[in-house]
Structure 1
């Protein structure tokens, strides 16, 4: 659901909601004073804060461990970890109508601009010094800044995209992993045989964007989404040719739920996916021999980054304590737990080095960080993704339409949505 500033304002003005579970719980007043070392409250007053996170069991276990570590150091603070099932962002939007959101909560880079624009997130500008903040990957931090330049989220971890390939299939075909677009097409063609498709492509902007940037294109210019950048059009023409020629297929065409299933089932030899697919492969295809290399490039290397931050509600009764908790949760010490888990990568540069040492097979994802563009298109991110998806689906089904025509039409709808903000 798209939530513009106007729409969210109307939503916040609504009075038809019944009971909503209260999240911003606390003791009376906000006189608690945290220490300067991220060790919490020291004046003896009891404080309770809620932390809203996704309901993923691994995430719940990880954040619960962190919350317990914080409470051990700060016995006067009670942290309640609240898993939010379903679409966490829609739940948060609904609860914000009654200022009933958690004190602290996950904030996806894709969603951040909408919440910032609606004025529901508190500033975290004073949480770290400039030197301390420099330890975080810059692109991750920038994704949580508003147009006012204020920081509204501290990234906790992130993932990038790379090319997975089936080692056995490559060895049998006598080819090496591709590094360029030309090599990618050649490999996909050679490996499309005997019921196997060379490449699985999830036909959406969240996978094709690295090809835009590698071709010299971009998705944002002066804060405005630019889907129909000529370089983007050229890149998608290449992408579409792989699908049209049969060297690549979408998960839907392959009859599977997503790229991970196609790759795990050895229906395809290659796919472009993130670090999250490793855990999936370990679970459903533990014996599969595969490798991971950078996304093949044309003019320059490129990838895409996905990140989640901790943000703070403007409605919290204990902002100082909440800030202290966020500082603790994103500290180098606590990022060690993220490193040990090995799923997403820690957002701190210093912790990322430890991640690569612990998981050398995932080094390619860490090295992609400096060239990874953001999955973030401002307050109309959802519109951009939806319009791009419609254009790409139309192009896949109707060969009479050019990429330029489809992208221009989508861009017109994006521009209209932006003008209505």
Structure 2
């Protein structure tokens, strides 16, 4: 059986009004929904949620606004150099900023003691992001150089784009220490009128040059030179004597940065043979640039930059530029040896924008931009240069000044014994210059080859050790 339910308690309908408790709210009217009070916590939660949503909306808007402001503000890179004119780079920098949101500020520096100022500023963390150095300065800036990322230029592409000497000079671990803008070397300047008068051609080797120098040299009754055959053999009044001596040593298959045979002393004596009682040049003559510009010397070996100085000094002088003399060859298949001296653009490893700096250098050394830069430089009245890229050499083969240098570049080599690098008195080039100048002085005094060679080796070893490296470039 199902369990029975207790009957509900009956309400006494006879209750009086006093016994009835009045309802707290009036009874609902038929057809009307009764009103409810919202709990206080629900109200507070709703208001708090609205405030939170509003705050998030404001925060997101502020964040996005900040992102846009950051995006619109360009990265700023400082670039120090001594070669390019500000007017030459300004149009290119302006266009680059528009397209890449990177502002490059070029600051042309005074060439005098440039290396000292640059080194000091980098060591104090006040240096530029990009800076120009000579191709031989890597040992002096080993603590400040940023390696070229393979993501910007692959090593194989780098070796293909630039001349072989560049890859040797600028190696930095598995990468490179910079990108060259220009290229320069040595060539032979010959006075056209003098050569036409003698009906001779520019010499191809050192034997021919020596014979022609003798032919062109004239003296007065006191045996003083009135017209020199060639500006060579002196260190006081011959510009770029360091480069020429380096060239002669390199052609003899000796490394000027690490000579390993007394044969280096033989080269010093050959260099000195152009001066003396029966020589073709002496220290009574004016500076080699001045002498050649005035028509006082028949031949002069110098870089392309010096050719433009000759043109400035004497626009009416007719002269020809030919390849530098080589050692006489018994085998015509032997490769020529030429000289290289050029400027490089490097990036500071303390820069906050190394990636952007390298990308900019890759841009400005591209085949489409580098010729424009060279043209701008010429218009601005600056030093005209041969672009550094191999694939641009063909554009200059017929140039009356740059053509020869473009032909020589593929077989050029370099040395710390380089002139006019603006490295200061304590720089590696200046130290090498003093060492070799001392060796030439000893050779003039007829000291033994063994003693000269020993002093040369000891001096070079001390210089390389002072830059914390015994490594040579060759």
TM range, smaller chain: 0.7 to 0.9
The question of 1:93 aligning with 2:123 is answered no
SS in 1 for 2:431: helix
Aligned partner of 2:196 in structure 1 is 171
Give distance in 1, aligned partners of 2:315 and 2:176: 41
CA deviation digits over 1:397-416, x for unaligned, max 9?
x4333555334312222223
The question of 1:123 aligning with 2:118 is answered no
Structure 2 residues without counterparts, runs of 5 or longer: 1-66, 220-225, 236-240, 330-334, 419-426, 469-474
TM-score (norm 2): 0.71
- 8 Å CA contact 1:51, 1:104 repeated in 2: yes
CA deviation digits over 1:195-237, x for unaligned, max 9?
1010102634322111122233232xxxxx3246344322222
Aligned partner of 2:209 in structure 1 is 184
Aligned partner of 1:215 in structure 2 is 252
CA displacement at 1:270 relative to structure 2: 0.5
Give distance in 2, aligned partners of 1:91 and 1:405: 37
> CA, structure 1 residues 239+324, in 2 after alignment: closer, same or farther (shift >3 Å)?
same
Aligned partner of 2:393 in structure 1 is 352
Give distance in 1, aligned partners of 2:276 and 2:316: 32
Aligned partner of 1:39 in structure 2 is none
CA deviation digits over 1:160-198, x for unaligned, max 9?
101111111112223221112111111001100151010
CA deviation digits over 1:4-39, x for unaligned, max 9?
xxxxxxxxxxxxxxxxxxxxxxxxxxxx9xxxxxxx
Count the aligned residue pairs: 364
CA displacement at 1:355 relative to structure 2: 2.5
Give distance in 1, aligned partners of 2:242 and 2:362: 33
Aligned partner of 2:35 in structure 1 is none
Give distance in 2, aligned partners of 1:129 and 1:213: 30
Matches within 5 A, 1:62-73: 62-73=88-99
Matches within 5 A, 1:409-420: 409-419=455-465
Structure 1 residues without counterparts, runs of 5 or longer: 1-31, 33-41, 220-224
> CA, structure 1 residues 405+172, in 2 after alignment: closer, same or farther (shift >3 Å)?
farther
User: Which residue among 153, 160, 171 is the counterpart of 2:185?
Assistant: 160
Greater shift after overlay, 150-159 or 128-137? 128-137
TM-score (norm 1): 0.79
> CA, structure 1 residues 240+338, in 2 after alignment: closer, same or farther (shift >3 Å)?
farther
- 8 Å CA contact 2:264, 2:453 repeated in 1: no
Give distance in 2, aligned partners of 1:403 and 1:274: 31
Q: Hey, which bits of structure 1, 4+ residues long, moved more than 4 A? A: 377-382
